[in-house]
Each structure stands twice: as C-alpha cells, then as structure tokens.
C-alpha cells in the first residue's frame, strides 16, 4: 500500500514537473477540451500534445474519452490541483514527525503512571 501510494505520488510529481502539463491541467480545470484544442492552445503538434496528455493520464490526473473522431480530455477522478502533490509530501513529513511524537507522549504517560504510584506509596 505504501509503495503503491508513493508510486502514484512519483507519477504525479513527474506529471507536474512540466510547465506545459501544468498549463493543460489549468486549462482543463476551466473546461474540457479535445487534444486538437489543447495542441492549438499550447502551439504544439498533435503528437506532442498526445504525449503530454498520456503522461497526465497515467498519473491519474486526466481522463480521456473518444467520441467519434474526437478525443476529449477532462480532469481525472483525483482532480489534483497543481499543489496537491507537494502538500501530500508535506503531510507525510508531519505524519512521520507526529508518529514519533505519539511515542514520546506514550512514554510520558507511562512515566506519570509510575510516578503517581510511587507518590501514593
């Protein structure tokens, strides 16, 4: 599970490391668009835009659907904002810290109990 999560995060970070792909996410945040639309907006070839969309799709950030001859792109089920990946990374840091803090608090509680017993004796 942890490995799966971190693989997903790696893919998200990788997908977000490119300015064009971040632009595509912003664009799709406003409205769904076809690959042709996106290629025009970002002044790229269809092949180039297909590659970018494919990276975003593999990271779960974008889904595509082909209707007739047009492939429409929309934000993926995760609907990650650009910053969500680093917020998750930041959360993991605090979570790791707080797991250690849990141990310190447990130890303090245990000591208090022992001291309390001693004081009553």
Partner 1 sequence: MAARTESEVAPIKNRTTVERKSERELVVTRTFNGPARLVFEAWTKPELFRQWWVPKSMGMSLLSCEMDVRVGGRYRLEFAHGDSQAAFFGTYKEVTPHSRLVWTNEESDEGSVTTVTFAEQGGKTLLVLHELYPSKEALDAAGTGAADAMGETFEQLDELLVTLGASAGRS
Bridge partners (DSSP) listed for residue 67: 70
Binding-site size, partner 1 (CB under 8 A): 41
> CB–CB of 16/60 below 8 Å?
no
Q: Does 44 bind partner 1 (CB under 8 A)?
A: no
Candidate residues 40, 65, 83, 115; the one interacting with partner 1 per rule CB under 8 A:
83
Stretch that binds partner 1, among 22-30, 36-44, 46-54, 62-70 (CB under 8 A): 46-54
Segment lying near partner 1 (by CB under 8 A), choices 22-30, 64-72, 84-92, 113-121: 84-92
User: Which of 23, 19, 22, 36 has its CA nearest to residue 73?
Assistant: 36
Instruction: Quote the CA–CA distance of 9 and 3 in Å, as a whole number.
Output: 10
Asked if residue 89 binds partner 1 (CB under 8 A), the reply is: yes
If we measure between CA atoms, which residue out of 111, 104, 23, 19 comes closest to residue 62? 23
Q: Look at strands 62-67 and 70-75 and give their pairing.
A: antiparallel
Q: Could you tell me which stretch among 60-68, 72-80, 97-105, 113-121 binds partner 1 (CB under 8 A)?
A: 97-105
Q: Which of 55, 73, 75, 80 is close enough to bind partner 1 by CB under 8 A?
A: 55
């Amino acid at each position: 599970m942890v490995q799966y999560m971190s693989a997903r995060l790696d893919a998200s970070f990788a997908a977000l490391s490119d300015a064009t792909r971040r632009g595509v996410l912003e664009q799709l945040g406003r409205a769904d668009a076809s690959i042709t639309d996106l290629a025009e907006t970002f002044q790229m070839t269809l092949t180039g835009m297909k590659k970018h969309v494919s990276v975003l799709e593999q990271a779960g950030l974008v889904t595509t659907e082909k209707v007739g001859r047009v492939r429409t792109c929309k934000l993926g089920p995760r609907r990650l904002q650009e910053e969500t990946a680093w917020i998750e990374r930041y959360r993991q840091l605090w979570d790791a810290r707080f797991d250690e803090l849990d141990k310190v608090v447990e130890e303090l509680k245990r000591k208090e109990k022992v001291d309390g017993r001693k004081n009553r004796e």
